[in-house]
Structure 1
Amino acid sequence: MAQDTEWTPVSHDTCDQVAGPFYHGTRADLAVGELLSAGFRSNYRDSVVMNHIYFTTIAKGAGLAAEMARGEGRPRVYVVEPTGPFEDDPNVTNKKFPGNPTRSYRSAQPLRVVGEITEWEAYDAEFVRQLRAFVASGSGEIIN
């Protein structure tokens, strides 16, 4: 997001103004039509059961989430559509950069799988390793 662009928060009331496609990264093997929902343990803190399901408009970001996801399967990035209202992800919005440059969102309502992409721009392996170490250290707050 360019610095000279004015950012407007995305809320349940304004989410219909956000254009997809939307992506969700995971290690789960899912089929078109399946629903992804909240209620599972966080990939970042085992003691937290998530109240929301997270997604982004940036395939690379969903790929990183897939790399960080729990499970034995390969990292997967699904094209999803929200089934209800959503808002900016407060875990990243305005944390390091103004606005929502990661284009990350969350919803208490399920996401419907409408497809899968098999290639996306990956993050550097060293960055992923460092992020895993950061997560393992228990650093960072989760806004649930």
Structure 2
Amino acid sequence: MPDVLDAGPFFHGTIADLRAGDLLMPGYRSNYRPEVVMNHIYFTALVDGAGLAAEIAAALVSSGSTPRVYLVEPTGPFENDPNVTDKKFPGNPTRSYRSVAPLRVVSEIMEWARLTPEALQVWRARLIDRAPDERGDIIN
């Protein structure tokens, strides 16, 4: 992979129940903006960042969903996630990336920092309880 941005390891947070060898692919609706079909699959080099994504997804999609974090391997080139990097914030402090190529699940990560119910409610309010025009655009 030319011009590797980060050596990893890499993580993906989701509510999907996956197994080693499964592939995560773009083309599904956003957990944060369900009217948007995502052209990329997103991941991070920070396990707690993936945990945050998983918890937010669980809170937004279904209160009975289980947030999960997976160790993943990119199967193709990837780029900085413009939703949290230079187009919106300087640099890439969240070590967040995206790819049009699938991510291969290596294993499930069982330990990561969990949000308090209060912090989760703040994220939910930012992402779903606001009017659609106040949520901000997803750079897809």
Q: TM-score range by the shorter chain?
A: 0.7 to 0.9
Structure 2 residue 74 is matched with structure 1 residue 82: yes
Shift of 1:109: 0.5
| Percent of paired sites with the same residue | 62
| TM-score between both structures, scaled by the size of structure 2 | 0.87
In the other structure, the counterpart of 1:27 is 15
Shift of 1:13: 4.7
What is the match of residue 136 of structure 2?
A: 140
- Give the alignment of 1:94-105 within 5 angstroms: 94=86, 97-105=89-97
The two structures have a TM-score, normalised by structure 1, of 0.85
Instruction: Quote the residue 1:8 is aligned against.
Output: none
Alignment RMSD, CA only? 1.7
**How many equivalent pairs are there?**
132
Q: Secondary structure at the match of 1:55?
A: strand
What displacement does 1:68 show?
A: 1.5
User: CA distance change for structure 1 residues 94 and 127 in 2, over 3 Å: closer, same or farther?
Assistant: farther
Q: 1:28-107 to 2 correspondence within 5 Å?
A: 28-69=16-57, 70-71=61-62, 72-94=64-86, 97-107=89-99
1:86-123 per-residue CA deviation (whole Å, 9 max, x = no partner) reads 00000000366420000000000000000111110223
Q: How far 1:82 sits from its partner (Å)?
A: 0.2
Cα pair distance change 1:32/1:108, threshold 3 Å: same
CA distance in 1, matches of 2:136, 2:122: 14
Structure 2, unaligned runs of 5 or more:
none
Q: Which has the higher helix share?
A: 2
- Stretches of structure 1 lacking an aligned partner (at least 5 in a row): 1-11
1:101 alignment partner AA: P
Corresponding residue number in structure 2 for 1:115: 107
Structure 1: distance between partners of 2:91 and 2:46: 15
Q: Distance in 1 between matches of 2:69 and 2:18?
A: 10
